[in-house]
Amino acid sequence: MLRVGIIGCGRISDLHMLGYRGRDDARVVALCDVDPENTAAKSKQWQLPDAAIFEDYRQMCESGLVDLVEIIVPHHLHYEIAAFAIGRDLHVSLQKPMSLDLADADRLISAASDTSRVVRLYENFLFYPPVLKALELIEQGVIGKPLSLRLKSNAGYSPNAWDIPFPALLWRHTPEECGGGPLVFDDGHHKFSLAWIVLGQPSEVHAWIGSTFVLSFELDSPSLVSMRYESGAVASLEVVYSQDLLIQGTEHYAQDDRMEVTGTKGVIWVNRGHGQIGDVPTVVSYTDGRIETYECPTGWEQSFIGATRSLLDTIASGREPILTLAEGRDVLAAALAAQQSAKDGSVVLVPDPVGRSPQSVRAELVQSAPAGADAAGGGA
């Protein structure tokens, strides 16, 4: 039985908890947060009255009470806490981005290479069932070789969106703590991961990052990132916040993402992300004049459940995690290149990849985490 400690009991930790429910190979036994009100609230909400409570992550890591830590804190603390936990010989699951710069990323990779424990970058978007379905179709060769990718991220409002604690807004809008803006860098990491799993590491990145004020907070919208690959493939990420755009189908953030992959003989559309805009089939493919539609589970929490299960299965099997820190570095390199490009107004060259090839990770992901989707019917 793996004993799990959660470091950072803030907004998103609720979705991390879901993956541990009903598992008999892992149990959350310890909670850590600098704010004791958060640990008290979560131990009650998650019905963990016996969980050990810590305010200092060092004490939790050295307590002998935990085998695995989930690090779910603001970005500027990722490197420091992960390095400490790796040094205490613990399994580590680290939320994205792994660090704020590539030098710290390299230090973490080096530290992780000295441990036999699993150290993985938590990237739940790869485990979102509609995305898994699209990756499965790519693996099956339904669209041929991927040539281009369009990612679109819409943020708006939703009466059902969850409350975001003020401190969670504050660190996201403090560039030294977040590392970049909340949409293109923080949430954008997920989109760079999606681009990575489809096309790999871009060789060049260009970005325009806009500015929209919502009360006194500046949002990095509207923005457009372009990526070009050694293979000649291209990708774009468009991010836009619309204050009066109703996002349906979400209990979490008022946001929705869509993705379109064009290959040598077909196209795949993923029409759902966090939320829902309109009433279109979840996943659609087009090949040889024929449309197929697929309905998948769409709750965004499914991506967290899948990511946590994958971690536990990885620890049990001794496989490489999805993602490794090296792959996290590759995603971070593209995300940082976009920030740099927007500042300099120029195309930025991305460092060579250090992780596995996305094709091999994609194949493993599809095999180990089925999408749970069926073709819902199609027509010529």
Ligand X SMILES: NC(=O)c1ccc[n+]([C@@H]2O[C@H](COP(=O)([O-])OP(=O)(O)OC[C@H]3O[C@@H](n4cnc5c(N)ncnc54)[C@H](O)[C@@H]3O)[C@@H](O)[C@H]2O)c1
User: Which tokens in the block code for residue 66?
Assistant: 């935990």
The two structure tokens encoding residue 348: 């930025």
Rounded-to-integer distance, Cα 224 and Cα 238, Å: 5
Taking CB under 6 A as the criterion, the residue among 28, 46, 70, 75 binding ligand X is 75
Options 29-37, 101-109, 138-146, 369-377: segment touching ligand X (CB under 6 A): 29-37
Q: How many residues appear in the chain?
A: 380
The residue type of 18 is L
Residue nearest to ligand X (CB): 10
Of 1, 168, 280, 349, the residue at the interface with ligand X (CB under 6 A) is 168
Per CB under 6 A, 8 contacts ligand X: yes
- Which pairing describes strands 146-157 and 283-287: parallel, antiparallel, or unpaired? unpaired
Using rule CB under 6 A, residue 258 touches ligand X: no
- In the complex, the smallest distance separating the C-beta of residue 285 from ligand X, rounded to whole angstroms, is 26
Q: Is 10 in the site for ligand X (CB under 6 A)?
A: yes
165 touching ligand X, by CB under 6 A: yes
The tokens for 77 are 């603390």
For residue 16, the minimal CB distance to ligand X (Å) is 8
199: phi then psi, degrees, rounded to nearest 5 = -120, -15
- CA atoms of 365 and 133, how far apart (whole Å): 11
CB of 333 to ligand X, least distance (A): 17
Q: Any idea which residue has 């699993």 for tokens?
A: 118
Question: Of 137 and 155, which CB lies nearer to ligand X in the complex structure?
Answer: 155
Mention every residue, 6+ apart, whose C-beta is less than 8 A from residue 103: none
Classify 31 as helix, strand or coil. strand
- Using rule CB under 6 A, residue 373 touches ligand X: no
Q: Which is nearer to ligand X, 186 or 327 (CB)?
A: 186
Interaction of residue 83 with ligand X, rule CB under 6 A:
no
Helical packing angle, 129-139 and 358-368, nearest 10°: 120
Decide whether 6 or 143 has the Cβ nearer to ligand X: 6
**Binding status of residue 329 toward ligand X by CB under 6 A:** no
Q: Hey, what are 277's tokens?
A: 């805009």
Considering the rule CB under 6 A, would residue 153 count as an interface residue with ligand X?
no
- Out of 43, 124, 154, 271, the residue judged to bind ligand X by CB under 6 A: 124
C-alpha 98/C-alpha 120 separation (Å) is 9
Select from 321, 293, 360 the least CA-distant residue to 137. 293
Q: Does 161 bind ligand X (CB under 6 A)?
A: no
Nearest to 132 by CA among 308, 301, 314, 283: 283
String marking each residue 31-60 x if it binds ligand X according to CB under 6 A? -xxxx--x------------------x---
Total number of residues binding ligand X (CB under 6 A)? 25
- Among 19, 74, 146, 188, which residue interacts with ligand X (rule: CB under 6 A)? 74
List interacting residues with ligand X (CB under 6 A).
7-13, 32-35, 38, 57, 72-75, 77, 95-96, 124, 165, 167-168, 186
